[in-house]
Structure 1
Amino acid sequence: MALRAVFVLLFVLATFGPIITSAKDFIVGDQSGWTVGFDYQAWAAGKEFHIGDKLVFNYPVGEHNVYKVNGTDFQNCTVPLQGTPLTSGNDTIVLATCGKKWYICGVANHCSLGQKLVITVQPQALPPSIAPAHPPAWSYSRGTKRPFFHFNWP
């Protein structure tokens, strides 16, 4: 029985452990950073954002900031009245929930000049490297009605 518990624990760790370490850091705008005159829609196109990933906004302190806003404020470039901007110049946001996320710069007219980002965050996915080549098969051991796992690992 103890051996079975150890096997189940190892199986769970092998299956779900890599999810914890598979988060990615995305430098918003790559080398350009968070700035005016950059196409953040093009930057985000083709990227997959998942829960646990991080967005890193790099910019010169005092020149920009980052507000998390809703879709309406994003469209209208409206700075929220009760929001507090991120202002460190190296702001990290951990993506904690699924769905659309909107970010703008609240300095002057930077948002209307294109300094805004919208992304869609997806649930965590199993990396393909840990998916078994063949699913486990069930069988019954002799003299018992309890199922027994057989793994056919390549």
Structure 2
Amino acid sequence: MAMAQGRGSAAQGLALGLLLLCLLGADVAGAATYNVDWSFGADSWSKSKNFRAGDVLVFSYDPSVHNVVAVDAGGYYGCRESGSGTKYSSGNDRLTLGSGTNYFICSFYGHCGAGMKMAFTAS
């Protein structure tokens, strides 16, 4: 009899473990991937979409003439790199959105001022 209870407990534990994995995986599986239109006047592209934390942005561009810099709000509105910003320059950057507003600019001279910047608000 004790042996039957042991198998039942193991089966219940396995079922709970699988349920937990499914619940955790549902959030990751729900993440979307967006190919960003990284060009001048790019900010209008992001305004028409709803983003969630965990969504992936793919910035594709010619790295000899552009880059992507993660900045804070001051860097975004002032078109300048911020001290804590990370610069990406592979030409095919995959960035995961965090919760809240995520700001990106191109730091090549004059590009941000010409509209090569984006703000993504992720819920």
Q: TM-score, normalised by structure 2?
A: 0.80
In 2, the alpha carbon distance for the partners of 1:17 and 1:117 equals: 29
Query: Looking at CA atoms only, which structure, 1 or 2, has the larger radius of gyration?
Result: 1
Paired residue secondary structure (2:39): coil
Q: What is the percent sequence identity of the aligned residues?
A: 31
CA RMSD of aligned residues (A): 1.9
In 1, the alpha carbon distance for the partners of 2:22 and 2:94 equals: 29
Q: Could you say if the C-alpha distance between residues 12 and 73 of structure 1 is closer, same or farther in structure 2, counting changes exceeding 3 Å?
A: same
In 2, the alpha carbon distance for the partners of 1:110 and 1:73 equals: 13
Letter of the 1:94 counterpart: T
What residue ranges of structure 1 are gaps of 5+ in the alignment? 123-154
Structure with a larger share of its residues in helix: 2
Q: Larger relative CO (CA 8 A, sep 6+): 1 or 2?
A: 2
In 1, the alpha carbon distance for the partners of 2:64 and 2:90 equals: 8
Letter of the 2:32 counterpart: K
Contact 2:71 2:84 in 1 (8 A): no
How many residues are paired up? 115
Post-superposition shift, 1:47?
A: 1.7
Letter of the 2:91 counterpart: G
Post-superposition shift, 1:81?
A: 5.4
Match of residue 35, structure 1, among 36, 39, 47: 39
Q: Could you say if the C-alpha distance between residues 13 and 76 of structure 1 is closer, same or farther in structure 2, counting changes exceeding 3 Å?
A: same
Paired residue secondary structure (1:61): coil
Residue by residue, what CA displacement relative to the aligned partner does 1:59-95 show, whole Å, maximum 9, x if unpaired?
1121111111110111111123574521111111122
For 1:3-152, list aligned pairs within 5 A: 3-29=11-37, 34-36=38-40, 38-40=41-43, 42-80=44-82, 83-95=85-97, 97-122=98-123
Q: TM-score, normalised by structure 1?
A: 0.66
In 1, the alpha carbon distance for the partners of 2:29 and 2:101 equals: 23
